[in-house]
Chain A
């Protein structure tokens, strides 16, 4: 089983703060790295799929960077709002490069709470 590690496990910030968290993954045989946001009582929603070393992606106030050589990705939220409160999950393909059927291994998630 692949090790996909996320830190911190949880984070409390005040409205307006900027924040970031980390996803670590195996640096060998890299193919893609996914970020999802999972709000309470909703479905997890894909934020980014990153495939190239040095990739930076942005969606509103949320952005992500990727370093495939050292095996990490950062997710940044600028000016956090209460509606950003959610669990943020990263995921990495399992058995990619062989007979991959698109399986993802997920990290345990970072729970973000933004206080008004």
Chain B
């Protein structure tokens, strides 16, 4: 089974801190994604990557950056954490580029609280 592993399940950070959320997948998937989930809003795409060192902005990239130095690892960076970034963050991967006729594989999520 493909696994997507997120480094932390729960995280509490202070306003202004730089925060790194790590995601690793073990099945050579090309695409990796970062979403955040907030009540009533569903999953919203922050950034995604379709190849090593490649990144594309999603729908809500402001305040975030990403890094993909190796195919299996996709990091989300909060440059200066703010309270409105308190959320559940989900990493996902998918097999190939193009029309997604395969389902995503998700990590178990990181619940980040910024105080």
A residues near B (Cβ < 8 Å) are 1, 9, 31-32, 34, 36, 41-46, 49, 51, 89, 91, 93-94, 96, 100-109
Is B18 among interface residues, defined by CB-CB distance under 8 A? no
Asked if A32 meets B101 with Cβ closer than 8 Å, knowing A9-B40, A89-B42, A102-B31, the reply is yes
Residues of chain A within 8 A (CB-CB) of B58 are 103
B residues near A (Cβ < 8 Å) are 4, 31, 33, 35, 40-45, 48, 50, 56, 58-59, 90, 92, 94, 96-109
Please tell me if the beta carbons of B33 and A103 are within 8 angstroms of each other in the complex: yes
Residues of chain B within 8 A (CB-CB) of A101 are 31, 48, 50, 56, 97-98
> Which A-chain residue is minimally distant from B94 (CB atoms)?
A102
What is the predominant secondary structure among interface residues of chain A facing chain B? loop
8 sampled A-B residue pairs with Cβ under 8 A: A31-B101, A43-B4, A43-B109, A46-B104, A93-B99, A102-B94, A106-B43, A108-B41
Shortest CB-to-CB span from B91 to chain A, Å, is 10
Residues of chain B within 8 A (CB-CB) of A94 are 45
Top 7 A-B pairs, shortest CB-CB distance: A46-B103, A108-B42, A106-B43, A102-B100, A43-B106, A101-B50, A44-B106
Shortest CB-to-CB span from A73 to chain B, Å, is 15
Asked if A1 meets B59 with Cβ closer than 8 Å, knowing A9-B40, A32-B100, the reply is yes
Residues of chain A within 8 A (CB-CB) of B41 are 108
How far is A101 from B32 in the complex, measured between Cα atoms in Å? 10
Beyond the given A32-B101, A44-B92, could you list 7 further A-B residue pairs with CB under 8 A, ordered by the A residue number? A36-B103, A49-B100, A93-B99, A94-B45, A96-B99, A104-B45, A105-B59
